[in-house]
Each structure stands twice: as structure tokens, then as C-alpha cells.
Amino acid sequence: MSLPNRVYFNMVFPQLVEPVSLFWRLLAEYLTLVDSLPETFIFSGIAGQLPLEAKAKVSPDLVLTAFEIESLIAERSLRGFGAHTGYSESSVGFELSELWDGEDFRERCSGFKCRIGQKAKSPDNWSILCDILLTRWPSIGAWQYLISYQAWQWDSLKSDFYEFRNGTFPPGYRTYPEPNFCGPFEPRIFIDISKNPGRCKELIPGVNFYPTAEMWLGPHFWQYAKCTKEDALAADFFIEKRDTPNYLYLRCWPTAFTRPDGEQGRMQQRLWKLFFHEDCEWPPGSGTICDEPMYGPAALLPVDQSNTKQI
């Protein structure tokens, strides 16, 4: 199944968001404002609990209204939440959780993300919500992006399904095997995506930076960047800048990125050079950013172009 052409968001907070019930209420109020609040949600019975609590207090998922969820969060003193409306093309989901680095939870560090189905009644611009939440809670940052583009650029596993999801595999990619510890199977083949314009960058375990057309960079972001906030304000390629007491808002492209090549690719290249003194290329192995669209899911290629174009 292909990913939806919908805009997702990702927000990261350096501390545990408190009170979680207020965070949920602000989300629900925003969804009401944009006429996108579901009548009920399926609320996770274990989300928002400490790991040991989740094992000791196994609770069933509940079908609740937004108001009932707010009350339950407060009653249980939850540290996060997980609420969704199913897994169809019309469903949505929202999750606030302590970030997990594969071994342990990062102490008092929260991430907030969404899942939006292709046919879901939901915004495709989360700017107002980002402003509401980042004004209330100090942040590392927030980003919104087209999930079908970002997932293609993040895909680092060369599996049998790669071309089904992403179109023709670019021959310039460097690949490397890693042992498969899940059983007596062949080694998995990974892809070096370290030069992809749309790749993400891990700042600390469980926390990523995304080179997106719009970003809200909180006061805690700059300790990880290779530039200062003043450097970002001085950059001449942003089409909108807004320096607030709570975050620096930057916009460099009118819409969410859909391509790693052409002017969009060169704009992402500028972001990498500014924030982390890193470079990128497309197609892989070319050492540059090509002018014409090459490779990628059919939905992200021009209508008259085959997704089998080669170098």
C-alpha cells in the first residue's frame, strides 16, 4: 500500500509535556476549529504510562469522546496519549509520547506526531497548531512535511518492496549488508541515504531534524545545529521569517517539498549547508543536484514522465 499524499507533523519537546490534559484539550479545540474533530477516538489503554506501569496495569482500549479523553488523562495522571479512529484511508491518529531510543526512554523528553489517511477529514497545514503548542511549551522544534515524499527519502532498506513503494531503484546508491538477527535469513541490504536531500538527521537518540519547507525551531534546537539563530536570520533564501520569544519560524518554499531534484533539491541543499554544514545530491552518486525529476514514486513524478528514468 502506498503512503498518503498528506501533510504530517512532528514536534519535539525537551521536557515532559505537562499538563497532558491541557495539551489534549488544545489539540481537540484546534480540530474543532477546523471542523475535523472525530466524534469518538479509540484511546490506547497503555499510552502515557511508565513502562513498568504499562506492564502492571494492562487496560483495554476505550472508545471515548475528546472530552472523555481529557478527563481520563487527568484522572490517570498520564504522561502522554495515543488516540486514533482506525486504520482506514479515512482515519486519523495522534500520539504524544516519551521518546524511545531503542533501549530506554529519554527522561522527560516528549514527541508529538500524527497519522492521517488519504481520505481523512483533516487539515493539510498544521501551522496554527504548531504555533499554539510551541507557544505554550518550550520545544526543540516542529516540522510539517508530505509523508509520501519524506518516507521515500528516509527509506534505507533495499527489500523486495522497495520498487513497489518508491519506483525504480537508483543504481547510484551505495548499499551494504547487515546480519539479520531475526532468524536464519539472508543478510538485510541497507541503502546509504546520507546524501539524500530529504533525509532526516538524528540530533540525539529518538530526536530528529527534518529539512522541510516550513519549520519552527525552538530555543533548545540551537545547541545541536552548526549555525546560530542569527546565521539563520541572516540567510537570504527564506521567503518568510518570524522570530518569536518561543521559536524561530522559517519558510523557504511555498508548499511541502515533493522532490529531491531541481529547485526544490537545491533549496534542501541550502538547508543542510546552513544548519549542519553538510551536503546532498540527487540522483545518488552524482555529486550534484540534477535539474530534471529523476526516480521516485509515480505520484511524485510529472504526469507525463515514466518512473523508470535512468541516468
Whether residue 37 sits in one domain with residue 60? yes
**What is the DSSP track for the chain?**
-PPPS-EEEEEEESS--S-HHHHHHHHHHHHHHTT---S-EEE-SSTTS-HHHHHHS----EEE-HHHHHHHHHHHT-S-EEEES-SSTT-EEEEEEEEE-SSSEEEEEEEEEEEE-TT-S--S--HHHHHHHHHHS--SEEEEEEHHHHHHHH--B--TTHHHHHSSPPTT--EEEE--TTSS-PPEEEE--TT-TT--EEEETTEEE---SEEEE-TTTTTTSSS-HHHHHH-S--SEEEE-SS-EEEE-SSS----SSHHHHHHHHHHHHHHHS----BSTTSSSB-SS--SS-GGGS-TTS-TT---
Identify whether 310 is part of a domain: no
Q: How would you classify the pairing of strands 105-116 and 7-13?
A: antiparallel
Whether residue 181 sits in one domain with residue 127? no
What is the predicted pLDDT for the residue at 175? Answer: 96
Identify whether 311 is part of a domain: no
Domain boundary among 114, 142, 170: 142
C-alpha grid cell, residue 128:
496554527
What is the predicted pLDDT for the residue at 188? Answer: 87
Residues 10-37 have pLDDT tens digits of 999 999 999 999 999 999 999 999 999 9
Identify whether 97 is part of a domain: yes
In total, how many domains does the chain have? 2
Question: Whose CA is closest to 132, among 203, 31, 43, 47?
Answer: 31
pLDDT tens, per residue, the chain with 311 residues:
567 899 999 999 999 999 999 999 999 999 999 999 999 999 998 776 655 454 445 678 999 999 999 999 999 999 999 999 999 999 999 999 988 655 554 456 899 999 999 999 999 999 999 999 999 999 999 999 999 999 999 999 999 899 999 999 999 999 999 877 666 677 889 999 999 999 999 999 889 999 999 999 999 999 999 999 999 999 999 999 999 999 999 999 999 999 999 999 999 999 999 999 999 999 999 999 999 999 999 999 987 665 444 43
CA distances for 231 relative to 33, 40, 101, 128, 226, angstroms:
36, 45, 30, 26, 10
What is the predicted pLDDT for the residue at 275? Answer: 98
Identify whether 282 is part of a domain: yes
Whether residue 86 sits in one domain with residue 42? yes
Under 8 Å between Cβ of 9 and 126: yes
What is the predicted pLDDT for the residue at 107? Answer: 56
The residue range of the domain holding 179 is 149-300
What is the distance between the alpha carbons of residues 264 and 195, in angstroms, rounded to a whole number? 15
Q: How many CB atoms lie within 10 A of CB 157?
A: 12
Whether residue 86 sits in one domain with residue 55? yes
What is the predicted pLDDT for the residue at 307? Answer: 44
| The residue type at 298 | A
What is the predicted pLDDT for the residue at 299? Answer: 94
Whether residue 87 sits in one domain with residue 177? no
Q: How many CB atoms lie within 10 A of CB 188?
A: 15
